[in-house]
Structure 1
């Protein structure tokens, strides 16, 4: 089953939940961020954050510290803290001259990364001496706009995708924040105690490629997935040959992807339907499992299919324009973002829930238990 929530007709650019999932932050494709509170199964507007001057491009909510970070096309980022029931902003010194495009908290929530159109990534951390958020830049060898970022579970490695058809893994080590030795930083990807050190660089796909729209580390941090505008999905396994596996799908391009487990990837985009893929590490293959959206097109007049065609023949009754243009999916327009709704727990056998927002102004929470029959043939544990 899926939960469907509508927030008007304006597109939703980005969304994020708090730790208890009773509060939701969304960007309705303008300069504001709306905070909703869930009561009796319904979302009610609690407050609006309007510090930005231009469209908010990305939001992330720190689960433990309960802080919200937002970035915008106005080249600024703010960290919002709840004090006496009021969200108060703190400006971040990004030092960029182009629009900020994406932002994510690190797993330990002691720093965050901001991608932008200035061909760099700002690694931001709090400087206690001056009581403000400062940043260090990762520049080379990025040659175009950074469109997506994601943190490795070790709080140091950072993956990014950009419009130069490349996915890269960097070291985002900050000496003042990361109290780690070189041995603690080293993973199956490698690791260096140097900010901006390039760990790996991968093309979006073989023989061409497209803009990288989303990147995501697996829960155990050994695999990296990304989706590109050439309708491809790619995975690189750091425990294997570090050579990316690319699959060109027959669907429209995906805009967002997330791991539901260490072998399952959910991708969604212009087809308005989240889709599940399985990474078989034994043979290094990416397999399409099924569409997560199992809904059927509903008749607006309530007639059955047989009665509808009988009336078309006898009475020459035609469907309304709204019914003709309605899609067979819950989302009636492009899915702009998909995120993990429930925190990943390797001990739990149930599949995680995911949430998605779209250009149709809807937010849908998907329960992946409906796909257990499809997954049974793969014998996934």
Structure 2
């Protein structure tokens, strides 16, 4: 079963999206400085609120399920925590990031007491609420990051964090804040975990595999998956001596990846389709299937010149014969879990892309 929708006829690329706890509301950014909150109204969606605090394009959104707070970050070097009032409107609180370049990605920690923000300033801001002053403050993780942070994900223990960057590296750091949490227990990544401690570093490829676009921790936190601009799936395993397994694929580069079970990873990107890979006990990576089963259309002899002339700014055409043979008509930029979790198994995911669509996928037994 597949559900797809454009919000109020929106055709702008969707940079990122996030769901509230019961999936009755969604936050999207239509590739500008705004965040639009929609509420499900039967089979339709109703615009509930527009968040306009950012001055430049929003790059990341994350919605904390238990506290019902949204965090956003943008090119304007700011991050905001949004709290919903009784009228359903969201009010912002500034997060003091202390960065001199745009913020590129943001994630709530599992316990929702910390926020990780990546940026072009070659650092990660680990943010926490300081109750004495009633604001969000941050501490920085800097070394040995050499370039822009593109993606972040938290370990289940609420302490470790994995970061992907444009210096071709995926790294695991400690994000331990001693002021607000107790001493962490040892993990396969290491025992000593002061803030900023580099627990592991993985090079995307010995042949220069390009930027790391997305990273994800497994459900037990012992493995990470990352995808880069070399169209490969990579698995790093802390329980096996931080060994790395790489599978080079035939697809265009992936932009996002998520563990959807203890053994399965879903990836998506420039090929416009979500794809599932399985990881066996020996960390061998195998193609499990494609979620998009759209049928390939027969060629009708449309000329390349005709296709070029009919292209609009979202790479969609006026002639149906020139459409892509997939539900998404442009690159998938963001994957979110819609139903289930990593440990027990994700049953549904949602994807958003540069074609302005959000699609909910539930067929995880793809062939």
Q: Say yes or no: TM over 0.5.
A: yes
Question: 2:58: which partner in 1?
Answer: 56
Q: Write the mapping of 1:144-183 to structure 2, written as runs, cut at 5 A.
A: 144-179=147-182, 181=183
What secondary structure is seen at the aligned counterpart in 2 of 1:199?
strand
Between stretches 321-330 and 145-154, larger displacement belongs to 321-330
What secondary structure is seen at the aligned counterpart in 2 of 1:74?
coil
Q: Whole-Å Cα distance in 2 between the matches of residues 218 and 111 of structure 1?
A: 20
Q: Write the mapping of 1:248-287 to structure 2, written as runs, cut at 5 A.
A: 248-281=248-281, 283-287=282-286
Q: Write the mapping of 1:68-87 to structure 2, written as runs, cut at 5 A.
A: 68-85=70-87, 86-87=89-90
Query: 1:12–1:358: 8 Å Cα contact kept in structure 2?
Result: yes
Query: RMSD of aligned C-alpha atoms?
Result: 1.8
Matched residue count: 350
Q: Whole-Å Cα distance in 2 between the matches of residues 368 and 123 of structure 1?
A: 36
Unaligned runs of 5+ in 1: 299-304, 313-319, 375-381
Question: 1:354: which partner in 2?
Answer: 349
- Which stretches of structure 1, 4 residues or more, deviate above 2 A after TM superposition? 345-348, 368-371
Deviation at 1:165, TM superposition (A): 0.2
Query: 1:156–1:172: 8 Å Cα contact kept in structure 2?
Result: yes
Closer, same or farther: CA 146–288 of 1 in aligned 2, 3 Å: same
What secondary structure is seen at the aligned counterpart in 2 of 1:126?
strand
Residue 139 of structure 2 corresponds to residue 136 of structure 1: yes
Deviation at 1:187, TM superposition (A): 1.1
Question: 2:234: which partner in 1?
Answer: 234
Q: Write the mapping of 1:202-351 to structure 2, written as runs, cut at 5 A.
A: 202-281=202-281, 283-297=282-296, 322-344=319-341, 346=343, 351=346
What secondary structure is seen at the aligned counterpart in 2 of 1:45?
strand
Q: Whole-Å Cα distance in 1 between the matches of residues 220 and 363 of structure 2?
A: 20
Deviation at 1:177, TM superposition (A): 1.7
Render the CA deviation track for 1:334-369: whole Å, top value 9, x for unaligned: 000112112317456xx5211100000000011134
Query: 2:99–2:121: 8 Å Cα contact kept in structure 1?
Result: yes
TM score, norm. by length of structure 1: 0.88
Question: 1:377: which partner in 2?
Answer: none
Query: 1:171–1:191: 8 Å Cα contact kept in structure 2?
Result: no
Q: Whole-Å Cα distance in 2 between the matches of residues 124 and 325 of structure 1?
A: 47
Closer, same or farther: CA 114–222 of 1 in aligned 2, 3 Å: same
Between stretches 94-103 and 207-216, larger displacement belongs to 207-216
Deviation at 1:271, TM superposition (A): 0.3
Bigger Cα Rg: 1
TM score, norm. by length of structure 2: 0.92
Render the CA deviation track for 1:271-303: whole Å, top value 9, x for unaligned: 00011101112x2211112111012257xxxxx
Between stretches 248-257 and 185-194, larger displacement belongs to 185-194
What secondary structure is seen at the aligned counterpart in 2 of 1:239?
helix
Query: 1:185–1:192: 8 Å Cα contact kept in structure 2?
Result: no
Render the CA deviation track for 1:2-59: whole Å, top value 9, x for unaligned: 1111131100000000000000000000000000000112111111000000000000
Deviation at 1:192, TM superposition (A): 2.7
Query: 2:255–2:332: 8 Å Cα contact kept in structure 1?
Result: yes
Q: Whole-Å Cα distance in 1 between the matches of residues 322 and 283 of structure 2?
A: 40
Unaligned runs of 5+ in 2: 303-316
Q: Whole-Å Cα distance in 1 between the matches of residues 344 and 78 of structure 2?
A: 40
Deviation at 1:160, TM superposition (A): 0.1
